[in-house]
A and B are shown apart, each in its own frame.
Chain A
Amino acid sequence: MPAESPIGALAGLAGPSPGDHFAAIVESSDDAIITKDRDAVITSWNPAAERMYGYSAEEAIGTPISILIPPDRAGEERRILDQVLKGERVDHYETERVAKDGGRLMVSLTVSPLRDDDGQTVGASVIARDITHDHRSRELAARLHQVTAALSRELTPDRVVDVVLEQVTEGLGAVAGAVGEVQGDEVVLIGNVGYSEAGLADWQRFALDLDVPMSVVVRSGEALYLIGPEQLRARFPTFAEATITHPSLAVLPLISAGTVFGVISLSFETTRDFDAEERAFLFAATQQAAHALSRARSYEGERQEARRQRFLAEAGELLSEPLDPDAALQRLAQIAVDSLADWCGVEMREEDGELRSVAVTHADPQQVRLAHELRERYPVAPDSETGVPNVIRTGNSELYREVPDELLVEAAQDDEHLRLLQTLGLSSAMVVPLKARGKVFGAITFVVSDPERGYDDEDLALVEDLARTAALVVDNARLYRREHDAAVTLQRALLPQSLPEVPGLRFDARYHPAAPGSEVGGDWFEVVALDDGGVALTIGDVAGRGIRAASVMGQLRPSLGAFVRDGHGPKEAVERIHRLMLEFPRTEMITLFHLRYDPAAERARYVRAGHPPGLVRCPGGEVRELMGEGIPPLGIFQEIEFVDNDADVSPGSMVLLYTDGLIERPNVDLADSIERLKRAFEEAPADPAEALDWIEEKLVIQGIGDDVALLAMTIDARDQ
């Protein structure tokens, strides 16, 4: 052993003990023991150092120790040496070193000054322990802890996938990773990191029975580690000709409740083995991911289910209410964006074949304008082969689980259109037909812009169901409305188009059909001016509905006018009406209030047949009921004893006649209702039109289920 051998130098340093003893220890140590001089040149190198760093003693000795220092730690050696040369020791300093093959290792260093016989520091001894393995274990444990902590917080599947990919790729030094989910007989990528877009293009979804690592692992349920291109080619002949950019692979199944529902794959740039610790880490992290993912899915499922339930409940309620078809569809679209969509549109095909946008709603009020703008500026092309026109043409729904940008580019009519589409955001969409009695008359479009919430078959089934119900409701409402409109038209046509002019008297009369969705009744009124300066006022109600009631009224009114003009008194005229009614093939009941006013005598005579009392407001403001002795409703009972009544009605008074729709309200006592009307009438303006406005407002006739007729007469006060 030469005197300058490192062992000798170290033995000398060791002091009085025989050198051989120390030499043996140094020789057999598992720790690298190295000495270096003041210039950081290696002066001795034991076998452990050779094993750790890969340089032989011949190679190492005489070489600067910087060959072991990673470039990113270049300054470190100088600092350590300076400290040691000052006579201080460095204990268990953990750092990184580079071996001859370029591999990095973690070491724990203990560096002590080397002194010569005079006590001068001439160099340093370095004991280096390879702690790569411990360090790695600790790092993997820490990562696993992070995975667990992060996954316990993440509630959406996408975030779970992101966290897992980030932690395991970094933890193992993978250059790329992907997570796939089993959907039917396919594996669908639900997350990836590090792969080039081109590399992923063909692998967004692929068959489960394919002989590729991810499919194989899903089928077997067991982890697969492939180390090096040879193994890869041997196991997967399909890759035989391929350029292998990732020679090592780790692929693990995602298992929940005993079922493989997904797979995670990691790619490495180098040929590398996976030690037990790394495999354990991957296994544990994957298991965590599987739990978190299935939890997130079920949570998402619950939320989606809750959303669906809410949508169904609200839509069901909506569709059971009487509404005109457009309003119903608009409300439906509003409910959709509250629970099921970010954007909802309803298009109807008009009789001329044109598409009409009935409703456009957006969950974000700011975007509604944008959505409208889109529909207005770029109306759906009626001949389009996809989307609304196609759904209306074929009656088949369309489901776009994902809407990639290319599809938008394809659909856009110009750049501005594309910009609008992109701004609104379309990540998934459904278009379902509105179909009733075998005819498609419209379509509803549901769009989500949140990429985390794609529509699936279940969503489609739900909205198809709903669209069927909505279509029936709309179809019925349209049919009904056609009939309703016809009845209202007839009713209005049969009522007097103008009221007579009688000096000193002013009239106004109104007819209000029942709220849309309700039946059309048979309320009517008539004003006949008499030759003697008097006037006959009649208001009536044909019980029954629709066109039939209107047509009965249409025969009655002119007949009554004729009876009055023929000179029949109130009692006689009403009796003739009654007889006329009895001749009708089907019995119809009518109630009426018939009043003759003689301005000269300042008196009224009236017949009240099954009808609420007329009202008179005296010049002093007091309101009286014209109840008198009434008779039953007409048209039913053969024998009625007709009675009329007298009342003083002085100038400056006002008369109000009305039908039961004005006062009959569910849960309100009839007497209370009449009282309320009297109070309103007391304060009504003197002008008959203004008075009727006033009363309509006070009695709230908007939206009630019955029709209402009103007739007011103001008797002008005599000039003083």
Chain B
Amino acid sequence: MKPGRLKLDAGTRATGDREVAYLAVAGEVDLSNAEELREAVDDTGGNGAGVVIDLTDVGFMDSSGLAVILQAARDRESRLVIVAAPGSAVERLLEMTEAAGRVRLMGSEQQALEALADPDAG
């Protein structure tokens, strides 16, 4: 458990005429810090215009991290967009666990924000 293995950076982003919560996650997510990620995700607020969880810089995620993401996706439905680069560890994990079809997965921050820009898309 090396300190600082998981970095969380919560903020907001403007897209269209709305503001969405934006959580940048970096490092490794596993049993030891999945709770930390869960709290950060919960703190983004569930009922806003939308939430982006950017996992671009997550080099490793295990099933406990996956559980946090999938629960958030279930609770927020289409208001949650996950960013993970094609071919990245997170994307492969989502594919292998057949979870990719259950989350709105975008390849970049830009795409994620665009996906949340249209209120009717939600």
The residues in A between 660 and 704 inclusive whose CB is less than 8 angstroms from any CB of B are: 660-661, 664-667, 669-671
Q: Report if A271 contacts B (CB, 8 A).
A: no
Complex: A517 Cα to B32 Cα, angstroms: 9
By DSSP majority rule, is chain A's interface helix, strand, loop, or mixed? loop
Contacts A521-B31, A545-B64, A666-B59 hold; do A636 and B71 have CB atoms under 8 A apart?
Answer: yes
Complex: A611 Cα to B63 Cα, angstroms: 9
Complex: A631 Cα to B60 Cα, angstroms: 22
Q: 29 A–B contact pairs at CB < 8 A?
A: A320-B2, A321-B1, A322-B1, A514-B31, A518-B32, A543-B34, A543-B63, A543-B67, A545-B31, A545-B35, A587-B71, A589-B66, A591-B63, A610-B63, A630-B98, A631-B98, A633-B97, A633-B98, A633-B99, A636-B71, A664-B62, A664-B93, A666-B60, A667-B59, A667-B60, A669-B89, A669-B92, A705-B30, A706-B30
Contacts A322-B1, A636-B71, A671-B92 hold; do A591 and B97 have CB atoms under 8 A apart?
Answer: yes
Contacts of B102 in A (CB 8 A): 632, 636-637
Complex: A543 Cα to B71 Cα, angstroms: 11
Q: Which of A322, A660, A667 has the most CB of B within 10 A?
A: A660
Q: Which of B32, B63, B71 has the most CB of A within 10 A?
A: B63
Q: For residue B32, which residue of chain A has the nearest CB? A: A519
Q: Report if A181 contacts B (CB, 8 A).
A: no
Separation in Å of the B92 CB from the closest CB of chain A? 5
Q: For residue B68, which residue of chain A has the nearest CB? A: A543
The residues in B between 88 and 106 inclusive whose CB is less than 8 angstroms from any CB of A are: 89, 92-93, 96-99, 101-102
Contacts of A517 in B (CB 8 A): 1
Contacts of B89 in A (CB 8 A): 669-670
Q: Report if A342 contacts B (CB, 8 A).
A: no
Q: Report if A526 contacts B (CB, 8 A).
A: no
Q: Report if B13 contacts A (CB, 8 A).
A: no
Contacts of A630 in B (CB 8 A): 97-98
Interface membership of chain A positions 544-568, coded 1 if the CB is closer than 8 angstroms to chain B and 0 otherwise: 1100000000000000000000000
Separation in Å of the B44 CB from the closest CB of chain A? 18
Separation in Å of the A108 CB from the closest CB of chain B? 81
Asked whether, in the complex, the Cβ of A612 is within 8 Å of the Cβ of B96, the reply is: yes
Separation in Å of the B5 CB from the closest CB of chain A? 9
Q: Report if B8 contacts A (CB, 8 A).
A: no
Contacts of B71 in A (CB 8 A): 587, 589, 636
Complex: A136 Cα to B88 Cα, angstroms: 88
Q: Report if A608 contacts B (CB, 8 A).
A: yes
Asked whether, in the complex, the Cβ of B74 is within 8 Å of the Cβ of A636, the reply is: yes
Asked whether, in the complex, the Cβ of B93 is within 8 Å of the Cβ of A670, the reply is: yes
Q: For residue B102, which residue of chain A has the nearest CB? A: A632
* Number of A-B residue pairs with CB-CB distance less than 8 Å in the complex they form: 96
Complex: A320 Cα to B1 Cα, angstroms: 8
The residues in A between 597 and 646 inclusive whose CB is less than 8 angstroms from any CB of B are: 608-613, 630-633, 636-637
Q: Report if B28 contacts A (CB, 8 A).
A: yes
Q: Report if A541 contacts B (CB, 8 A).
A: yes
Complex: A519 Cα to B62 Cα, angstroms: 13
The residues in B between 1 and 37 inclusive whose CB is less than 8 angstroms from any CB of A are: 1-3, 28, 30-32, 34-35
Separation in Å of the B47 CB from the closest CB of chain A? 19
Separation in Å of the B3 CB from the closest CB of chain A? 6
Among B2, B62, B70, which residue has its beta carbon within 8 angstroms of that of A636? Answer: B70
Contacts A514-B31, A610-B97, A632-B97 hold; do A543 and B64 have CB atoms under 8 A apart?
Answer: yes
Asked whether, in the complex, the Cβ of A632 is within 8 Å of the Cβ of B101, the reply is: yes
Complex: A671 Cα to B87 Cα, angstroms: 10
Further 7 A-B residue pairs, CB within 8 A, beyond A518-B32, A608-B98, A706-B30: A321-B2, A518-B31, A589-B71, A591-B97, A630-B98, A632-B102, A633-B99
The residues in B between 72 and 115 inclusive whose CB is less than 8 angstroms from any CB of A are: 74, 89, 92-93, 96-99, 101-102
Complex: A612 Cα to B30 Cα, angstroms: 17
Contacts of B31 in A (CB 8 A): 514, 518-519, 521, 545, 705-706
Contacts A514-B31, A521-B31 hold; do A632 and B99 have CB atoms under 8 A apart?
Answer: yes
Separation in Å of the B23 CB from the closest CB of chain A? 19
Contacts of A322 in B (CB 8 A): 1
Complex: A259 Cα to B31 Cα, angstroms: 61
Complex: A622 Cα to B62 Cα, angstroms: 28
Complex: A633 Cα to B71 Cα, angstroms: 11
Complex: A517 Cα to B1 Cα, angstroms: 8
Contacts A705-B32, A706-B31 hold; do A633 and B64 have CB atoms under 8 A apart?
Answer: no
Asked whether, in the complex, the Cβ of B74 is within 8 Å of the Cβ of A637, the reply is: yes
Complex: A631 Cα to B1 Cα, angstroms: 32
The residues in A between 302 and 342 inclusive whose CB is less than 8 angstroms from any CB of B are: 320-322
Asked whether, in the complex, the Cβ of B60 is within 8 Å of the Cβ of A664, the reply is: yes
